[in-house]
Structure 1
Amino acid sequence: MNESANGNAQRVRMTAWVRGTVQGVGFRWFTRAAALRIGGLNGFAGNLADGRVQVVAEGEQESCDSLLDWLRTGDTPGSVVGVTEIWGTIRGGYEGFEIR
C-alpha cells in the first residue's frame, strides 16, 4: 500500500470508463453497492450518452483499486467489454457515493 510521509494511506481519485452492455441493467446501482461495501469511497457512477458508464471514486488507493478490480471481474450486471481508468489527486465535493 502506498503511504504518504505522515504515515496515512495515500488518498487518490480514480476515474473509470466502463464499456459494454452497462446501461439499463442495474450497473450503476451495483457499482454504488460495491463502493459502499468496500467503504471509504466518495464519488459517483453515471451513464454517458455513448453507452458507457463513468465511475469516479475518491478514497484510499487500496479502496479505489478494489473497486476497479470489481469493475473488471465480470461479476457485474450486464456485460463489461473493457475498463479504461486514469488516476489523479482528490478534488473533493462528493458526499458518499451517488448514482447519476
Structure 2
Amino acid sequence: MTSGPNRFLDELAKLMTDAAGATQGLRREAETAMRSQLERLMNSMDLVKREEYEAVRDMAVKAREENDALSARLAALEAKLDGKPSADDVATAKPAATKRAPRKKT
C-alpha cells in the first residue's frame, strides 16, 4: 500500500477520471435528449424532406414540358381545322396551282 502524497494524488486522479467519464455520459445523454426534442418539433412542423421536394420538383418540370408539347400540338391541330396552315405545314407544302375566277354568264 502506498501512503502519503502519492496515495492522495492517485485518489485525486481516480476521482478526476471518474468525473470526466460522468461528464461525458451526461453530455451524450443531453445530446440524445435534445436530438429527440428537435426531431419531435420538426415532425410537428410538417416539414418536407429534401428528397421528397426534389422528386416533386422533377415531376413538375416534366409535367410543364409535356404541357408545352401538348399545347403546341393542339395549336397545330386547331390550325388545320380552321384551314390555316401551321408553320410546319407551310414548310412542307407544295405550291398550289392558282384557280381561275369563274366566268360570268352573259
TM-score by length of 1: 0.21
Higher strand share: 1
Q: Highest relative contact order (Cα 8 Å, sep 6+), 1 or 2?
A: 1
**Larger Rg computed on CA atoms:** 2
TM-score by length of 2: 0.20
Higher helix share: 2
